[in-house]
Structure 1
Amino acid sequence: MEINATGAVAVARQIFVARGIGAGQIPEASPKPLPLDEATDTPRAQGVEQNVSPPSRGVVDYTNGVLFKDLWLRPGLAPRDRSLITVTALIASGQVAQITYHLNRAMNAGLSQDEASEVLTHLTVFAGWPNVMSAVPVFKDVFEKPQT
């Protein structure tokens, strides 16, 4: 069996059959998306265009289409939660360069400073002290200079 998302289909099928889950009980793969906030998305898309287009037009297309339209607008998670998951994944993988944008996005969607601080505390155990300590200055900067 392949060890990837495609390989997981066979395993999921077995679990669904064992639990009596039929096709009518599975959520749509392409649900009606959340509304796009043009006022915040337009500057974001323009920034991607300016910063990424020269080296890779394909990355611009995937970022502005697949990532921020198809994935981010899925209704299964609130925008705040989707941002919180993204920030957590960035910290856990040591990718601090992207945290500023996504932490601001989470806070603009309702994440409080206290909640963001608790994310760091929780992740010291699950993502490791070095990853959290690398993220602390980024969080501090966002707390002191939030961006809308």
Structure 2
Amino acid sequence: MDNTVANNDSAVTPLTLPSLVMYTENTLLNDLWNRTALSPRDRSIITLATIVSRHQVEEQLNTLNQALDNGVKPDEIAEIITHLAFYSGWGNATSAARAAQQVFNARSINISELPGSNIVPLPINQQAEDQRAQHVSSHFADVSPGVVQFTTDAVFNDLWLRPDLAPRDRSLVTVSALVSNGQVAQVTFHLNKAMDNGLTQSQAGEALTQLAFYAGWPNVFSALPIFKQVFESRNA
């Protein structure tokens, strides 16, 4: 048996353990990635967010190639990595940026044409942003005014308004990173935001299925009660 596992014509690292090969081929590639509750593009967004946020360097090249094969645009990949600088740390993002540069160069994708500072931001929901900012400021301005300031100025009034990654996909990246790193305290706000941005309940549930394989069952089971609470509150 050829132990090089492939998906969408993107070769991944050869596997040598027969049991891992079996589950990778049968359960991961032939089952999980063919489930229709999420598109392959969505699954790649979730997987890329997980690989980057968990700093799984050896998987980055394969995951980036797979994402491009599944329809994630270079501009979107650049924005996903930039977004994760804020939600999983700068070091994780810079490592992924180096991998992305390698993949883009191999595919003759011009990095200089990717989005930078010269953008037209998306419109902001000022009422919702004012409520968010007031809530954060009232609770934490005396603890860390710098965090409060940058959360407003750099994150919600800048990063989230960048147009080359749709708000729904940006939310999917954020929720995936939070679940992947076990940061369930932040999931309620961002899952609600994701669903406000167009992520359906069934898609959110299936995102957990994808995350179970790439972030591990314990992280997903820690997030399941939060997802259930959000779903129930929105359906009440």
Class of the TM-score when normalised by the shorter of the 2 chains: 0.7 to 0.9
Aligned-pair Cα RMSD in Å: 2.7
Q: What amino acid is the match of 1:59? A: V
Q: 1:139 to 1:29 in 2, by over 3 A?
A: same
Q: 1:112 to 1:58 in 2, by over 3 A?
A: same
Moved over 3 A (4+): 15-23
Deviations 1:83-102 (A, max 9, x none): 11100000000000000000
Q: TM-score, normalised by structure 2?
A: 0.54
Deviations 1:24-48 (A, max 9, x none): xx13411111011112111011111
Structure with bigger RCO (C-alpha 8 Å, 6+ apart) = 2
Q: Distance in 2 between matches of 1:93 and 1:109?
A: 22
- Note the residue ranges of structure 2 that are not aligned, 5 or more in a row: 1-90
Aligned residues: 142
Return the match for 2:110 from 15, 18, 21: 21
- Note the residue ranges of structure 1 that are not aligned, 5 or more in a row: none
- Give the alignment of 1:1-148 within 5 angstroms: 5=94, 12=101, 16=105, 19=108, 21=110, 23=112, 26-30=113-117, 31-146=119-234
Q: What amino acid is the match of 2:190? A: H
Q: Distance in 2 between matches of 1:17 and 1:132?
A: 35
Give the Å deviation of 1:22.
Answer: 7.3
Give the Å deviation of 1:111.
Answer: 1.0
Q: 1:128 to 1:49 in 2, by over 3 A?
A: same
